[in-house]
Structure 1
Amino acid sequence: MRKITLKLLTKLPTRFVASGLILILILFIYGIVGSHLIMGLDFIDSIYYAVITMATVGYGDYTPHTGIQKIFATTLAIGGVAIFAYVFNLMLTSFQEKMSEYSKGAKKMKTIDDMDDYYILCGFGRVGKIVFEELTQRNQNVIVIDKDEDVCESIEESDSVVVLQADATENDLISELAGEKCNSVIISIGDDVSNLFIVLTIRENNQDTWIVSRASKLENIPRLRKAGADKIVSPEVIGGKNLYYESTRPHVLRLTVRHAPEELLDEFEVIVKHGCTLETIDYHFPGIETPLSRKIKTMDLEDGKKYDHYLKTHATAKEALENLYDSVNNIHSHLISGPDRATFDRLVEDLEKQEEIIGKNLTNKEIAKITRKNIK
């Protein structure tokens, strides 16, 4: 307790200490000058009289006799009492605030210790807020670290949410928390230099911690990966993809079909024939709303032929694909981009001649209702 008290006292705000010392110094100078001019004392005795009067000790060896002397002694004594009381009150108030902060911090650490596992979210800006909402919606334990006091106060804490006001680039706390109980550290600060430093700090002491970092600039992605980030997410890339998809939405078709693996190349030939691009393939497991998605992004027939040749020459890969198709009852969706709606109409017409088309632009929820009927 003694060490804690000394630590808190040494961290009193500088402005409180400075203002108190200035007031005491001003009163002390007033006491010395008044003792010399009004009480008629020499310099040494003036210092002595000013001190004992300010401290209200009053040994009685120097006694004011005239009216002006009594007024001077009275103002010096009252001033000393008032200033010392003011300074003491400042120190006491600041000490109580520090004790409160220490107690609050100890309570936060106790809450963290009681958590079985948690996610660390570093940075609570626009991106961080979205991540936080996603985590809390899934009832995950979250530790938010942000250096902005107003931001920290705006977050409601609970047994599953702890907010720590700290600068993660200057504090080793994040490295200490990123231990065995940490599921992942999510760094969402808008400054890539800060993100890089935090990644290095964590990775230095936690080799197995899963780190996901934001990258504001594409050129910093390799640096973050080299520093130790397991995943890097760039809002620029995501935003660019969203802008592209939104701009092509009138010319994007999600086609849900059913066919066997050996019909893959024939299907792809039809897609390429109409100048369309196969963006993704979603495999729909019976009754499960979220599909298994594969990015393809090709309109080159040679890519399809190479994949078909690969399957024919690699029995294990072919068997794995066949098992996947069996598990989804051959039902999957293609996200196809193309030049216009008329092209899609011709594409669908040709595909209907060789495979079963379940629906166009169906949602995952609608598809889940269809595949649920296949559950025996």
Structure 2
Amino acid sequence: MLHRLNINRLLLAITLTGLSLVFGMTGFMVIEHYHPVDAFYMTVTTIATVGFGEIHPFSHAGRLFVSFYIMYNLVVVAYLVSVFSSFIFDGELRKIYNMIRTDQEIRRFSGHVIVCGFGRNGRRAYQELIANGVRVVVIEMNQELMKSHAEGETDEDYDGDGAPGGNIYSVFGDATADRVLKQAGVERASSLITALPKDADNVFVALSARALNPRLRIIARASQKTSESKLLSAGADSVVMPDEIGGSHMANLVVRPEVIRFLDLISGLSADKMRLEEMSFEQLRKELRGRSIRELDVRSITGATIIGLRQASGDLLVSPPVDYVLASGDVLLVLGSEEQIETFEVRFRQL
């Protein structure tokens, strides 16, 4: 928003200068009957206050016009100088260049994820997506919030997916506006996470995003239970309520602490991080398709474990039978360490 405001100030200064030029030429041509070239010359010398003198002596009306015209231009020139000074000495030109460059980069994105809101939930979602090599565009109104986060990160934290200069690919504006969503590439995105503080805003974002991209996967944050049905009706595929999840998590730490510690391992909240990965039948190497889970022998080859399987029908099988033969539409859920999952990806994923 701040960059947009500064650009508007620059455009206003240029517009006022152009209007002053047109106004001066018109005055000299109408009052003193100057030729357009002479009128342009007199206008420029008057604005610049160089005092080269008149082409011919002014009439009383001409002198009054020039007097008021000079006073008007003192204000215009002072404003123009102040705007250009801020652009030169405050680094605004560099910031605008980076903003334009980032916008051009975003226009080339396809299949990326949009995160609306960079509060606690949005920031955590962004970090998790970046850690998994996903390209992300953030929509946020508060530039200072984005700046404070960027200053606390190193270039390595972005793993090459950051914007020019190590910053986050971001669009500053109201995520509920269609123009802002389009600027973030919503029509080409694969998923959108809306984590704005107000449920009503999240409903509006889901509604607008669904209209702009019917194929978009939308995950929405909700504070109130009553907002869940509204978000689903607006087009959200999934609704997450952080407060309810947090309360349930704390209660489960009392009644089943080891289960929660295991889930923390999978989610990356624990120091000994494990990774839960999925691989669809279509992503499996062609020569491995049509084999049973026993024949794939994932555990012996990689050390990772197949803990679940979602069938094409939508049914979820926990610890699927070893004689089950994978079919089109099936998705394997595999658990292991980072090293084990990387080995699994190399040995089983279609290149």
TM-score w.r.t. the length of structure 2 is: 0.51
What aligned pairs does 1:52-91 form with structure 2 within 5 A after superposition? 83=75, 85-91=77-83
Q: For residues 108 and 236 of structure 1, do their structure 2 counterparts lie closer, same or farther at Cα, with a shift above 3 Å needed?
A: same
1:24 corresponds to: none
Offset of residue 288 of structure 1: 2.1
Change (3 A) 1:191 1:293: farther
Measure how far apart 1:58 and its partner are. Answer: 6.3
Measured in 1, the distance between the counterparts of 2:84 and 2:217 equals 44
Q: Which residue of 2 aligns with 1:309?
A: none
Task: Give the deviation of 1:327 after TM superposition.
Answer: 5.4
Q: 2:308, 2:317 within 8 Å by CA — same for their partners in 1?
A: no
The alignment-based identity, stated in percent, is 22
Alignment of 1:291 onto 2:307: yes
Q: 1:239 aligns with which of 242, 246, 256?
A: 246
User: Which one of the candidate residues 171, 174, 177 is aligned to 1:167?
Assistant: 174
What is the rounded CA distance, in whole Å, between the counterparts of 2:80 and 2:143 in structure 1? 27
Q: Which residue of 2 aligns with 1:262?
A: none
Alpha-carbon deviation of 1:245? 0.5
- Structure 2 unaligned segments of length 5 or more: list them: 17-45, 59-67, 163-168, 263-296, 325-334, 345-351
Paired with 2:252 and 2:136, the residues of 1 have a C-alpha distance of: 32
Aligned-pair CA distance for 1:228: 0.2
| 1:202 aligned onto 2:196 | no
The aligned counterpart of 2:331 is: none
- The whole-number CA distance in structure 2 between the counterparts of 1:254 and 1:91 is 57
CA RMSD of aligned residues (A): 5.0
- Rate the CA distance shift 1:12–1:250 in 2: closer, same or farther, 3 A: closer
Partner of 1:188: 195
Deviation of 1:322 after TM superposition, in Å, equals 11
The aligned residue for residue 11 of structure 1 is 8
Structure-2 change in CA distance of 1:204 and 1:220 (3 Å): same
Structure 1 residues 132 and 79: CA distance shift in structure 2, 3 A: same
**Structure 2 residue 211 is matched with structure 1 residue 215:** no
For 1:122 and 1:187, the matched residues in 2 are separated by 5
Flag the structure with larger Rg: 1
Say if 1:82 and 1:118 are closer, same or farther in 2 by CA, change over 3 A: same
Q: Distance in 1 between matches of 2:105 and 2:209?
A: 22
Tell me, what secondary structure is at the counterpart of 2:134? coil
Give the letter for the 1:148 counterpart.
N
Q: 2:126 aligns with which of 114, 132, 138?
A: 132
Deviation at 1:227, TM superposition (A): 0.2
Separation in structure 1 between the aligned mates of residue 78 and residue 137 of structure 2, nearest angstrom = 39
3-state SS of the aligned residue for 1:105?
Answer: helix
Residue in structure 1 matched with residue 347 of structure 2 by the alignment: none
The one-letter amino acid of 1:152's match is: M
Distance 2:180 2:318 in 1: 50
Instruction: Tell me the distance in 2 between the aligned counterparts of 1:131 and 1:231.
Output: 14
For the structure 1 residues 323 and 93, does the alpha-carbon distance in structure 2 shift closer, same or farther, using more than 3 Å as the test? closer
Structure 2 letter corresponding to 1:189: L
Counterpart Cα distance in 2 of 1:233 and 1:253: 18
Partner of residue 352, structure 1: none
| Aligned position for 2:102 | 108
Closer, same or farther: CA 241–11 of 1 in aligned 2, 3 Å: same
Distance in 2 separating the partners of 1:196 and 1:105: 28
Change (3 A) 1:152 1:8: closer
Please state how far the C-alpha of 1:90 moved relative to its aligned partner: 2.8
* Alpha-carbon distance change, 130 to 289 in structure 1, aligned in 2, over 3 angstroms: farther
Contact kept? 1:192, 1:214, Cα under 8 Å: yes
Residues 250 and 231 (structure 1), Cα distance of their counterparts in 2 relative to 1, 3 Å cut = closer
The Cα of 1:218 is off from its aligned counterpart by 1.0
Flag the 1:290–1:153 CA change in 2: closer, same or farther, 3 A: farther
8 Å contact kept, 1:115–1:160:
no
Structure 2 SS opposite 1:186: strand
- Deviation, 1:109, is 2.5
Quote how far apart the aligned CAs of 1:115 are: 3.9
5 Å-filtered alignment, 1:1-376, equals 11-12=8-9, 83=75, 85-93=77-85, 103-156=97-150, 160-161=161-162, 162-175=169-182, 177-180=185-188, 182-249=189-256, 286=299, 287-289=303-305, 291-292=307-308, 324-326=320-322
CA distance in 1, matches of 2:209, 2:128: 23
Distance 1:197 1:53 in 2: 50
Task: For residue 175 of structure 1, report the CA deviation from its aligned partner.
Answer: 4.0
| Contact kept in structure 1, 2:176 and 2:205, CA below 8 Å | yes
Q: How many residue pairs end up in the alignment?
A: 231
Aligned residue identity for 1:193: A
CA contact under 8 A between 2:47 and 2:73: conserved in structure 1?
no
